[in-house]
Structure 1
Amino acid sequence: MQDSRLPPFHAALLHPRYALNWLGLCLLWLLVTLLPWRAQMALGRGLGRLSMKVLKSRVKVARRNLELALPELTLAEREHLLRGNFESVGCALFETGMAWFWPDWRMRALTRMEGTEQVDAAAAKSQGMLLLSAHFLTLELNARQFGLYRPGVGVYRPNTNPVLEYAQVHGRCRSNKYLVDRLDIKGMLKALRAGDALWYAPDHDYGSHASVFVPFFAVDKAATITGTATLARVKNTVTLPCFTLRERDGYRLVVQPPLAGFPTGDDEADAITGNRVLEAAIRQAPEQYMWLHRRFKTTPEGVPYRY
């Protein structure tokens, strides 16, 4: 199932300067292997609350994002959501370990899949599947769970630390084929043309290059990349919204029907469509979204910096 492009293990990874990296990975493996899932989630929530006292700059960014995106909420409601968001950040640490280290049987036990008929229909026509997703804190699980049903291809940012890069590539390919650098557009196109499922999350702010300013939540002009429509234009490709939500008794992997009439050829209209789809998904569990990054940092001319 795994692709031959997986990075090989080599002696340089055992250099003493990487000792703490290996120690951290071993500790994470031990915790997610030995602890029951509910204990992991309880510990994760506690770590998340503790992190609010340490990651003060990230708390500030998340609070500002919630203020910009959800002004209809009261201050008390946003603060409650902020605390829940950091609890989810702590859970995400364990969920990363689960995605990287758990055997398939244990992963399946907590996974409920919804909408797999959309995948079957596309596969029956040998269509490429652009899995339109977002940076939920459950994103590591999303790719792992989808791969349990049909192995696909992930888009990612390589880590400059070779040990962490080795761990994340091998972990993310536990039930998938291979990974493509987020800057490797040709590699993404190749995967879709081959009829693969390509996981793609265009919801971060990547600057003004190849972006348009369209609404996202309550922000009227949010920089949004046009890459979704570019990839969706690949012949015989369907765009399937796909995300994973954490629930009381496990996780729900959701695959929604293909976006009808997408793309249209109008970059702004297509970006608006993509943002609306992602916003609707995020509103189902806003505390599970990655509000820690500066989603609205890029502004059009005449609009002041938002942070």
Structure 2
Amino acid sequence: MSVAKKKQRDTRYSSYLHPRWWPTWLLIFLIWAVAQLPLRFQWWLGERIGDLTWRFIKGRRHITEVNLRLCFPELSEKEKQALVKQSFRANGIGVMELGVAWFRNPESFLPITKVHGLHHLDNALAKGKGVLLLGGHYSTLDLGGSLVTEFIQADVMQRDHNNPLINAVMTRARERRYGQALDARDLRGLLRQLKKNRIVWYATDQDYGRKDIVFAPFFGVPAGSITATSRIAKSSGCAIVPFSHFRRTDSLGYDIYFQPPLQNFPSGDDLADATLVNQTIENEIRKQPDQYLWMHRRFKTRPSKQDPSLYRKGDH
């Protein structure tokens, strides 16, 4: 496994006192201030932000429409458009929850949080080989991860933010909740944590380009799917435990789900393994499809370089 050269993180706030960082500090203060508001009002405000982005960010709306057309062909056009709008609202709430995850103590949300299937994780951890939590990019990404640390001790793999100050705030917040916030490319660090019988949150459900992938079905559509999950499991002997988290739709609260570990994994067949991983994530998404990050171009990489983009406007 090659290790890509990466910038060194600097999470010292004293490094960001120059006036050029003041606009970012103002944004961070705004995020902090909104996080202090009642959660129900934050949900309402997030929905309004979702409505605005649905109306004005047409590029992301187009990507979402294409993804839902591909993944839910059984829905009528009216149902698809309603799901598009619901998805923008759910992700708008997710933006509000960033501040909650970064700046508030998740312990205060325990009365409205329910965990399902925690025994699956306990049983997997008892084998002593570590656990890879197979997560996904749900709209509750940061808050769900923060809440789960009230029940388990875990590390997290993260893609660093392009803004170093935002990244510093995000990383410091995550390291208060998790043991370590590992760079997404730090596979050696990941394997070290698994060797210590640690739990590590890991997501595979985005398009990472053409390197080290197979094309496995995701909602029946060939999707570029990384093979690293199989290699990690083979190298470490760890268990792969599916993990998801959703906002309740009938009341103010959250649900966290752990599923039984993947069986016969790795199988020695990268395509079969990637298909199982994608199917597992798909099953979780179907619990609350509006709360997934459909704005991402999941099918950007095509099986052949000559295949036309699925996101080209006017082709549908």
> What range describes the TM-score normalised by the shorter chain of this pair?
over 0.9
2:11–2:171 Cα contact (<8 Å) kept:
no
Cα distance per residue 1:194-244 (max 9 Å; x no partner): 11111111010111210001111031x211111111122233411100010
Residues 193-232 of structure 1 mapped to structure 2, 5 A cutoff: 193-219=195-221, 221-232=222-233
Find the counterpart in structure 1 of residue 108 from structure 2. 106
1:150 corresponds to 2:152: yes
Residues 90-101 of structure 1 mapped to structure 2, 5 A cutoff: 90-101=92-103
2:236 is paired with a residue whose SS is coil
Find the counterpart in structure 1 of residue 4 from structure 2. none
Shift of 1:124: 3.0
Q: Distance in 2 between matches of 1:54 and 1:189?
A: 43
2:132–2:200 Cα contact (<8 Å) kept:
yes
1:273 corresponds to 2:276: yes
Question: Which of 233, 255, 279 is the aligned partner of 1:252?
Answer: 255
Question: Which of 288, 304, 307 is the aligned partner of 2:308?
Answer: 304
1:224–1:271 Cα contact (<8 Å) kept:
yes
1:192–1:234 Cα contact (<8 Å) kept:
no
Residues 119-158 of structure 1 mapped to structure 2, 5 A cutoff: 119-158=121-160
Q: Distance in 2 between matches of 1:111 and 1:147?
A: 12
Letter in 2 for 1:59: R
Letter in 1 for 2:236: K
Find the counterpart in structure 2 of residue 159 from structure 1. 161
For normalisation by structure 2, the TM-score amounts to: 0.91
Cα distance per residue 1:154-179 (max 9 Å; x no partner): 11111232210111101122321111
2:157–2:202 Cα contact (<8 Å) kept:
yes
Find the counterpart in structure 2 of residue 241 from structure 1. 242
Shift of 1:7: 5.0
1:287 corresponds to 2:290: yes
For normalisation by structure 1, the TM-score amounts to: 0.93
Cα distance per residue 1:85-139 (max 9 Å; x no partner): 0001110011111111111321323321111112222333333011001111111
Shift of 1:251: 0.6
Root-mean-square deviation (Å): 1.7
Cα distance per residue 1:238-275 (max 9 Å; x no partner): 11000101103211011111111111110000000001
Find the counterpart in structure 2 of residue 192 from structure 1. 194
1:156–1:179 Cα contact (<8 Å) kept:
yes
Question: Which of 88, 98, 120 is the aligned partner of 2:90?
Answer: 88
Q: Distance in 2 between matches of 1:98 and 1:229?
A: 34
Q: 1:123 to 1:244 in 2, by over 3 A?
A: same
Q: Distance in 2 between matches of 1:50 and 1:10?
A: 32
Q: Distance in 2 between matches of 1:270 and 1:196?
A: 23
Q: 1:24 to 1:303 in 2, by over 3 A?
A: same
1:148 is paired with a residue whose SS is coil
1:134–1:201 Cα contact (<8 Å) kept:
yes
1:139–1:243 Cα contact (<8 Å) kept:
no
Letter in 2 for 1:195: N
Query: Gaps spanning 5+ residues in structure 1: where?
Result: none
Q: Distance in 2 between matches of 1:10 and 1:294?
A: 34
Q: Distance in 2 between matches of 1:125 and 1:209?
A: 32
Residues 31-50 of structure 1 mapped to structure 2, 5 A cutoff: 31-33=34-36, 35-50=37-52
Q: Distance in 2 between matches of 1:170 and 1:256?
A: 29
Q: Distance in 2 between matches of 1:185 and 1:6?
A: 17
1:89 is paired with a residue whose SS is helix
Query: Gaps spanning 5+ residues in structure 2: where?
Result: 1-7, 312-316
Q: Distance in 2 between matches of 1:134 and 1:120?
A: 20
> Aligned pair count?
301
Question: Which of 28, 39, 46 is the aligned partner of 1:25?
Answer: 28
Q: Distance in 2 between matches of 1:84 and 1:253?
A: 21
1:144–1:174 Cα contact (<8 Å) kept:
no
131-140 vs 18-27, greater mean Cα deviation: 18-27
177-186 vs 9-18, greater mean Cα deviation: 9-18
Q: Distance in 1 between matches of 2:291 and 2:11?
A: 34
1:174 is paired with a residue whose SS is helix
